[in-house]
Amino acid sequence: MIDIEATLYQKTKAIIDRYGFSFKKNFGQNFLIDQRVLDKIIAAGDIQADDVVLEIGPGIGTLTQAIARKAKTVIAVEIDRTLIPLLEEVLSDFDNIRLINDDILKVDIKALSEEYGRPLKVISNLPYYITTPVIMNILEKEAPVSSIVVMIQKEVAMRMQAAPGTKDYGSLSVVTAYFADCYLAANVPRNCFIPRPNVDSAVISLKPYDKKPYDTADREGFFKFVKAAFSMRRKTLVNCIGSSGDFDLTKEEFSEILKKAGYDERIRGEALSLPDFHRIFELM
Ligand code: SAM
């Protein structure tokens, strides 16, 4: 008996062989071959019949087809031009998929959203090498995106959704929490892809806030402060900020601010949540 996983693997192999496709490492090409993981991504994507979904890197169109069965439109952006003829054929049964041969980092997401008259949902098995720039570009530029469901390296996913005091907690956790509600939708072992990557993956779901609960007028300064707070892992916040050079404050002055905000002067950055950082920064 052939199980479902074997079928997706066999389908993938058959397409790759038929087109004589060879994987390009520099494009982070690791194709998903596990049907259960595919189902989890689709479930986390919560696709509605009138949704316009932006898929980054359709590969050979596995996830693309699953999205297209539920969404109104799929905009699939693929950088590898050798995949385009293959995708055109594999996806020819669908009339709701728009293929764009481009680098996602050059695509104007705002213009796309305006063209379709609605915010986009992003769903993707992201190429590892651009995980952080893609996600941060969307969040920091406040692109019109209502949700992001992406497969990324497990290590990065753990850091994004980590809580204060845990080993994965760091500036990426605080920056992520600043922009979006974030949860881990699935853990994905490395054997769910061909070729098999050297790291495990996870599916993360991000819902950018309409109105950020802890916003500040000086975001650049705030993120500098958060990064400086984690710059020396075992040092107190006072030492990190006092020796960073980025802030016009002596250790004594910063200690005073901490006290005023109601914190112990020996506190470390890793113990502080986004609301804590926000509160201290507003007094600086
Ligand atoms: N979606 C497919 C799947 O799940 O099997 C493929 C995922 S694979 C991890 C990443 C895909 O992104 C590849 O098809 C790769 O060519 C494409 N890609 C890499 N860099 C890209 C970029 N800068 N812009 C758009 N697509 C890119």
Residue 276, ligand 1, Cβ within 6 A: no
pLDDT tens readout for residues 216-275:
999 999 999 999 999 987 899 999 998 888 888 889 999 999 999 999 999 999 999 999
- Give strand pairing partners of 124: 150
pLDDT tens readout for residues 47-68:
999 999 999 999 999 999 999 9
| DSSP calls for 54-71 | EEE--TTSHHHHHHHTTS
State the pLDDT confidence band at 2, using cuts at 50, 70 and 90.
Answer: very low
pLDDT reported for residue 6: 54
Residue 87, ligand 1, Cβ within 6 A: no
List the Cα angle 190/131/174 in 5-degree steps: 110
The number of the ligand 1 atom at minimal distance from the alpha carbon of 24 is 16
For ligand 1, pick from 21, 67, 80, 122 the residue to mutate: most ligand atoms within 8 Å of CB.
Answer: 80
For ligand 1, pick from 21, 23, 29, 193 the residue to mutate: most ligand atoms within 8 Å of CB.
Answer: 29
pLDDT reported for residue 249: 87
Residue 201, ligand 1, Cβ within 6 A: no
Q: Which of 145, 142, 157, 186 is nearest to 54 (CA)?
A: 145
**Stated length of the chain:** 284
What six digits make up the tokens of 136? 């941060």
Residue 197, ligand 1, Cβ within 6 A: no
Residue 130, ligand 1, Cβ within 6 A: yes
Query: Could you give phi then psi for residue 234, rounded to 5 degrees?
Result: -95, 10
pTM, 2 dp: 0.94
pLDDT at 123 over 80: yes
pLDDT reported for residue 246: 84
Of 1-15, 106-120, 125-139, least confident by mean pLDDT is: 1-15
Residue with structure tokens 């520099």? Answer: 26
pLDDT reported for residue 247: 87
What distance in Å separates the CA atoms of residue 151 and residue 165, rounded to the nearest whole number?
25
3-class state of residue 117 by DSSP: coil
CA of 127 to the centre of ligand 1 (A): 5
